[in-house]
Copies of this chain bind each other. A is one copy, B any other.
Amino acid sequence: MSAAKHYLTDPTHAVLSSLNSLTKTNPSLLFDEKNKIIYRNPSSLKSPTHVSVVSGGGSGHEPGFAGFVGEGVLTACVAGTIFASPAAEQVRTCLQHRLPPESEGILVVATNYTGDVLNFGMAVEKARALGKKVEMVVVGDDVGVGRAKSGKVGRRGLSGTALVVKICGALAEKGVGLADCARVGRSVVSNMVSLGASLSRVHVPGKGVEEAKDEEERLGHGLVEVGMGVHNEPGCFQMKSDLPNLIKTMLGQMLDQSDEDRAYVKIESSDDTVLQLNNYGGTSNLELGAILDEALAQLDKTYGIKPKRIIQGTLFGSLDGPGFILTVLKLSDTDLGPGKSLLSAIDAPVNAVGWPRCVSGETFETSYKPPAEKREDEREEVKPSNIRLSQQRLRSVLTPALNKVVAAEAEVTKYDTIVGDGDCGVGLKRGAEATAKTIDEVKSDDIMQFFAKLCPTIEMSMDGTSGALYAIFLNSLASNMRSLSPSSPAEVTVKMWAEALSMSIQGLGRYTPAQPGDRTLMDALVPFVNTLEKTGDVKQAAAEAQKGANHTKGMKASLGRSVYVGGSGFEEVPDPGAHGLSIFLNGIAEAL
């Protein structure tokens, strides 16, 4: 169950206020609260004589379909309660009283669920009996339930419905007549295949929370249900939620012509197509992008299908369900002449808040120049210095110290989980491992060659706060060390290190206000450098670093992300960054 927690527990209030909000995000809309109808203000219609396009269905699928009311898509939408069709009387009121009377006809688009078909159908019949020109298009695009099982009912309506609504709405806006709008709408339905999958059912606001636990048992961790409907209808089967295999299975059900129970539409690589990826509502955009990437790769590789347009977003949702629906539409000729093709209808402008943002048709049609051959990122030649540090010395001192940092990862992570965001240990470990590799790549005794390898290594391997602090510090250390280069080659001395380190602490101050006492790595670094400068004794300096790190226990952070952490815990553990640095510095001292 995706989440049994809600901001509203009264489903009626949720539906009504959600619909009402559309009149705020689109002030050209009106809301008939009694009949749950969102409709365009007659005074906002540029062509009231054009065909009116109406849709609707249960609530909980937002933005579908009330969010599509507006210029370029729907004239009006009738909403039911959550996951239930509106009553026929609501639809009747919409058709008879909420559309421009001068409209040349009304196209009603409904999803193929018995309730929707009956309620919309009854209203259509009543409106026709009063002499109105009305056509109804019923959308069934699902392939999850095969022919044997769906029987006389036909295919369910899934998010392909949004494509029908968009195409018919755009054509109506262009002045296409009722019969042609209906004909094209029906042909879109017959050229479309959709299939859903979800990691869990959704919890409906106002319902009990007990079923959430049953659901966890029904659809366990690591499993996904293929064919799960947008009203929590169980799917066809469950499988491992391994993306490549899931997409392979789904595309197979959608496109495989040898599957006699399905094979609803024959789509060949020579066909022009549109791919739609619909979010049930609760799939993160991160994963949605990854799903799209996988689907496009397999469509191309396995089926030779390269969609002309890609539409991605929540169009026909299932509350906050962690699922998605793939739809492939085969583009056919509308026979309506130039500017009225399916693609031009899909590309046509929209002034409705619910339709997902897509780039322009022109952007899809343009052949952009491939990027210029990537220039090898120019690294400035490292100017030589006279300061010497042998690889052997580097290895004998640095390697054991770096190993200590790697070994301390679990401990540092533990501390950072208590007072920070838990990534400090892994960051330090990555940096230490990368640095250890760098030592092997240094081919010169010039210390500047070492820094030239070290700085980009640290920058690339350590991200987050500590990575940047280390990188700025090491860049600064390198240029300060260079400034100490003697006139003839000489081994680096502790005094030189102390001096360069001291200057670099100043440099760091340009980028962070952190000082000792702020519970950061400065609490270890500053005492180390100060002591080293004063005494020239690395061991003593390292001991001071450790003291400084221990001293952070009980310190309140005034900088760094742990400032924002509301909880306690800072009394018991040291600052993870200071602690990690102290381990490194003491490792050096021991190895010398």
Contacts and interface: CB of A to CB of B under 8 A. Distances in A.
Interface in A46-90: 59-60, 62-63, 67, 70, 80-90
A371 interface: yes
A592 interface: no
Contact of A281 (B43, B149, B285): B285
Interface string A321-361: 01000000000000000000000000000111111111110
A150 interface: yes
B89 A366 contact: no
A392 interface: no
Contacts of A287: 6-8, 14, 18, 205, 320
B30 A371 contact: yes
Given A24-B296, A234-B565, A284-B281, A465 B368 contact: no
Contacts of A41: 368-369, 371
A286 B15 contact: yes
A497 interface: no
B221 A368 contact: no
Contacts of A561: 113-115, 231, 233
A543 interface: no
Interface stretch (A266-274, A466-474, A485-493): A466-474
A513 to B, nearest CB: 5
A121 interface: yes
Contacts of A70: 359
A591 interface: no
A322 B322 contact: no
A407 interface: no
Contact of A21 (B289, B427, B462): B289
Nearest to A296: B24
A501 interface: no
B351 A359 contact: yes
A314 interface: yes
A459 to B, nearest CB: 4
Given A26-B359, A151-B558, A97 B377 contact: yes
Interface in A556-575: 558-561, 563-567
A494 interface: no
A15 B290 CA distance: 7
Interface string A105-124: 00000000111011101100
A453 interface: no
Contacts of A505: none
A357 to B, nearest CB: 5
A459 B87 contact: yes
A350 B296 CA distance: 24
Contacts of A227: 566
A586 interface: no
A282 interface: yes
Contacts of A564: 145, 149-150, 156, 229, 233
Interface string A230-265: 011111110001010010000000000000000000
B86 A463 contact: yes
B366 A85 contact: no
A290 B84 contact: no
B462 A286 contact: no
A32 to B, nearest CB: 8
